[in-house]
Chains A and B, each alone.
Chain A
């Protein structure tokens, strides 16, 4: 595989699929999983905040989820 990137590295309109989490033990990962982020899921960056690219609106399957940059940087993805 190529080097790992996260949702944070994606540009607006880019599609990707979730490959994992940077720190599987972090408590926030459980929260991200509960709201639906899971390996293999189809995502797309829909909107970005004005400065510093936070928050980020992500389409996860048919759900839209808003994340801050910090959380987005925990979700590893592979570009489609």
Chain B
């Protein structure tokens, strides 16, 4: 290395900036969670068509178009609300956040209706056959993550409405938003595997 560049390297001469620990932590968690989902997805794919008895996916599954649209657009609304809090527009922040939660709730309602139909009408439970086992596990695992994300967002919303979530917390909110985006991306994979490939 030349002398000039070594002088540049001296710590005094350069601002010392490190990535935010919240983001690094959340990204690490996301990597770990991805491995968890990967195992469930692999199991799902491996067991496609291996059930010994019915019902089969083709007979009972309907593509959850509305829920999917809602969940995916919630990535947009939460991005808007991130943007708002960064610029200190707290009303807009709360508004977009509420929209995000609403969209998430519609998604969950869709899942509830779907499961009700499958269990009561089609008689498909987790013990019926391999399809039931893998379907409820994978979709359920994802739904658990949605519920977790919704809980975090709701806490933030309540705090924001009470004026307890100042704009200075935008970094924290960005970390939660990162998680929410991850939950969305996972749904794209689950949707593809369960409703496109597996049906």
Same complex origin of A and B: no
Which B positions have Cβ atoms within 8 angstroms of A? none
